């Protein structure tokens, strides 16, 4: 593996680590900043993804839509409190062509309610398209393909 490929691998992994930390630390205002302005974020069940069906649990088509979601999470949605912990595997960088980096990583999200035990909340993989910006790597799109057939309660926080 070349030095350039190793550097890119490290940059993608660092982006994923920072992304997970922002969500686990409930810094939701930081979440849209991981994306380019017209970045896309989608959650889709593996069953639909494997069949080529477009239906997703959530589809946000711009940073503005993500900011609206953050407003909902922090200002309007009422739910019992819980913490999340994201574990993200090292990414596989699949290609780096014409300014678009394609990568995938597996993830597991655990949820803990205060005073209760932890449980597996959501498991799947990130299918990403990234681009280099002046601020570093940013997501053009993040497709979260979750393996779980059932999503516990409702999905409030980003995966």
How is the chain split into domains, by residue range?
Answer: 3-146
Question: pLDDT tens for residues 15-39?
Answer: 999 999 999 999 999 999 999 999 9
The Cα 18–Cα 52 span in angstroms is: 30
What architecture does CATH give domain 3-146? Roll (3.10)
pTM (two decimals) = 0.94
Instruction: Please state, in angstroms and as integers, the Cα–Cα distance from residue 11 to each residue in 8, 119, 134, following that order.
Output: 5, 30, 14
Q: Is the pLDDT of residue 151 over 90?
A: no
Give the per-residue pLDDT at 81: 84
Q: Please tell me the predicted confidence (pLDDT) of residue 153.
A: 67
The pLDDT of residue 110 is: 95
pLDDT band with cut points at 50, 70 and 90 for residue 129: very high
């Amino acid at each position: 593996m070349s030095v350039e490929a190793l550097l890119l691998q490290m940059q993608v992994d660092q982006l994923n680590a920072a992304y997970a930390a922002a969500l686990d630390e409930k810094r939701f205002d930081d979440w849209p900043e991981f994306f380019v302005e017209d970045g896309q974020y989608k959650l889709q069940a593996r069953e639909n993804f494997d069949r080529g069906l477009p239906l997703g649990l959530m589809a946000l088509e711009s940073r503005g839509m993500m900011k609206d979601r953050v407003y909902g999470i922090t200002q309007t949605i009422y739910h019992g409190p819980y913490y999340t912990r994201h574990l993200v595997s090292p990414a596989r960088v699949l290609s780096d062509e014409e300014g678009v980096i394609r990568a995938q990583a597996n993830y597991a999200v655990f949820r803990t309610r205060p005073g209760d035990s932890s449980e597996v909340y959501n498991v799947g993989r990130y299918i990403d398209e990234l681009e280099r910006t002046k601020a570093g790597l940013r997501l053009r799109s993040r497709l979260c393909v979750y393996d779980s057939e059932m999503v516990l309660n409702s999905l409030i926080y980003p995966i």
